[in-house]
Structure 1
């Protein structure tokens, strides 16, 4: 039988690095904390802590155990939060993961609308790449992830959001690219500006060139769509961006869309959640708004 109290003592001791701090948080004595840890170590047959002058440190075995127990506590805390939100829709929290560009250019209007409807629901945004967002979702650190599709994972439920269209843009310096038709091979003669290599946008455009027998090697790599826009504007080269995210710049003439001969396939924004993990009332309402804008 699993003694959850022992794991609770272990978790709080490991988190604080101190027997006395764990005892204070648990409202028990320090010898009781030591005894509980000894019982757990005997049960598992492995040492979990090493004493130091400042308190205790996890052993290698203890660190492995802690990585799992921490996830369990995250899920327990998440479950308690969800139940509380089900009791009272006027309070609660939604944790959403997404890239900087998707948060700013896609999520912001939805967040604004949702906040007007439910001003007491706290919204926390966690920024990251698609692999980081998936990891955070599986560890219970976020409720909803916003990513570019396709994404394939048996543990995830993927709902489709809006369709987006990527394109190459440039500033006035290379404006000629917006006039006559340009092939992918011809575009490689110009300095190319892309997202960093671990982004889904970068993988998408690299695959586009690879499928046409071309090697895409950017001259500049950047970490945000805002920098991609600004670097293209001032003449550093040609940036690969989502067209919907630069509509203003294209309309005002500070950016120009490259007139590519090849067509770039459109993609969809995916709203990802864990399968078999019910959403809170607030999170479900937000997902419904994303699925049915307007």
Structure 2
């Protein structure tokens, strides 16, 4: 089994943060520091340059990261091949998903999958669609789930589920329930951040009406759908654009309301994604099949 200190090192190197590595590995930050210092003593090399609150990899750190990734991949391949000898479903499965999928789509699948395959170790990385694509290409994930329209030629995409964005606001009986695109464009907007599939779909919809985001009044960009909902609840007059799946509870409770903008085409797809030309691991294949069956019901 690979040295746990290497796993700690990989996490710190990936995030360039001791705090985020501690959160990912569920250990304390002093423990992270201890493991890194032990590695540096063992190799008699500094692995990170420290400048104030920022860190970066040294040349020795970059070399160690290459070999640590190779060791991790070889160990995973060995684990999978050994367990395939007697048909057991075991091993590590590193999932990554864009924010909407992480918050509202994948979590309901995980408990039953874990119950069926208790020896598969699951992790789930949350990021926007662009970040998930990058993590796949860097070898940090086995299987991703994204939204949006942009595609990388280095990745393979497979439809998982249809979705639709909706325009939402704090309830206001004085405002019309349906807006034209021109009326929509006159409101302050609360949107997802650059790199998100949600923002990309909106930009494509606006482009069909010769509109650019730079021409509109954007009150705030958030990297969280939950933050958008909370902002809207406190900001009458603002409009947000999020997945309808994110609004079930708030709409039912009367905390937010959906506004129809028929001229905006906001349909999109949730897709599974992995590196082009590379076969999925047995664990990833099982999870993808399980997800398809769940949403076909």
TM-score (ref. length: structure 1): 0.73
Instruction: Provide the residue aligned with 2:232 in structure 1.
Output: 232
Please give the secondary structure, in 2, of the residue aligned with 1:182.
coil
Q: Helix, strand or coil for the counterpart of 1:286?
A: helix
What 5-or-longer segments of structure 1 have no aligned partner? 1-10, 23-54
1:128-173 per-residue CA deviation (whole Å, 9 max, x = no partner) reads 222221222122221110100434223222110110000110112x
In structure 2, the residue matched to 1:34 is none
Q: Distance in 2 between matches of 1:175 and 1:83?
A: 62
Q: Which residue of 1 aligns with 2:218?
A: 218
Q: 1:89-108, aligned counterparts within 5 Å?
A: 89-108=88-107
Q: What is the Cα deviation at residue 66 of structure 1?
A: 5.1
8 A contact 1:85–1:281 mirrored in 2: no
Residues 69 and 218 (structure 1), Cα distance of their counterparts in 2 relative to 1, 3 Å cut = same
Cα distance change on mapping 1:225 and 1:290 into 2, 3 Å: same
Query: 1:17 and 2:16 equivalent?
Result: no
Number of equivalences = 247
Q: Residue by residue, what CA displacement relative to the aligned partner does 1:105-131 show, whole Å, maximum 9, x if unpaired?
A: 000111122122223322101112222
Q: Where do 1:1-294 residues align within 5 Å?
A: 16-18=39-41, 21-22=42-43, 55-57=44-46, 68-87=66-85, 89-172=88-171, 174-177=172-175, 179=177, 181-216=178-213, 217-236=217-236, 237-292=238-293, 293=295, 294=297
Matched residues in 2 for 1:178 and 1:251: separation? 19
Aligned CA RMSD, in angstroms, stands at 2.8
- Look up the SS of the partner of 2:211 in the other structure: coil
Q: Does the CA-based 8 Å contact 1:166-1:241 persist in structure 2? A: yes
5+ residue gaps, structure 2, are: 1-9, 11-37, 48-56
Scaled by the length of structure 2, the TM-score of the pair is 0.72
- Any idea what SS the aligned residue of 1:168 has? strand
Alignment deviations for residues 237-271 of structure 1 (CA, whole Å, 9 cap, x no partner): 21110012212322332221112141323111010
